[in-house]
Amino acid sequence: MSLKKAFLHFKTITHHRHLVMKGCFKVGLYRQGLLHDLSKYSWTEFRVGAKYYQGTRSPNNAEREATGLSTAWLHHKGRNKHHYEYWIDYNVDSKPGEYPLIGMKMPVKYVVEMFIDRISASKNYLGDKYTDDAAYKYYLKGHGHYLIHPESDALLSKLLKMNAEKGEEATFAYIREFVLKKHKKHQSIS
């Protein structure tokens, strides 16, 4: 690992964290904004990011291509609740021959953080080439292969599509006024 790559990786993940923090603050998720992706600074994740740093895509993909798996990703997804992979568990209702793993329903605040994370990653990697539909286009490339709860997926898809069509300001306002308020109201009734 070169010192230059380590420094550039540090700058990239820190810039990403600041973008997510800014987005989370805009919708009122202050704690999540402050704590977002802190595991990327752990040695397990940071050394891989620095070694495979390219600046235009996730170093986890480069590690996967080089070694067949990403140890950094396995570490990361198990510690960060804004990734749908964190919420994959065994299906207690599966029968022999059926797929035993399913995506569990994510708390709404983590779906919102996932949405902000995806937009911020697109901004981070695309730079000046970023457009409001970038994260939605990326999502559509993998859609159908995600092991995510249908309700969590529907909300993520809706927010990404809204961002593509109406922009960030309108989507964040919708999240503040409808998505998170409805969620908080529902929690106080339960």
For Cα atoms 39, 43, 46, give the angle at the middle one, nearest 5 degrees: 70
Report helix angle 43-51 to 3-27, nearest 10.
120
Spatial separation of the C-alpha atoms in residues 47 and 40, rounded to whole Å:
9
Q: What is the pLDDT of residue 187?
A: 53
Q: What are phi and psi of 178, to 5 degrees?
A: -120, -50
pTM above 0.85, yes or no: yes
Q: What is the pLDDT of residue 185?
A: 56
Split into its structural domains, the chain has a count of 1
Q: What is the per-residue DSSP string for 99-164?
A: --EEEPPPPHHHHHHHHHHHHHHHHHHHGGG--TTHHHHHHHHHTTS----HHHHHHHHHHHHHHH
Regions of the chain short of the pLDDT cut 50: 188-190
Q: What is the pLDDT of residue 184?
A: 64
Domain residues for 79? 3-189
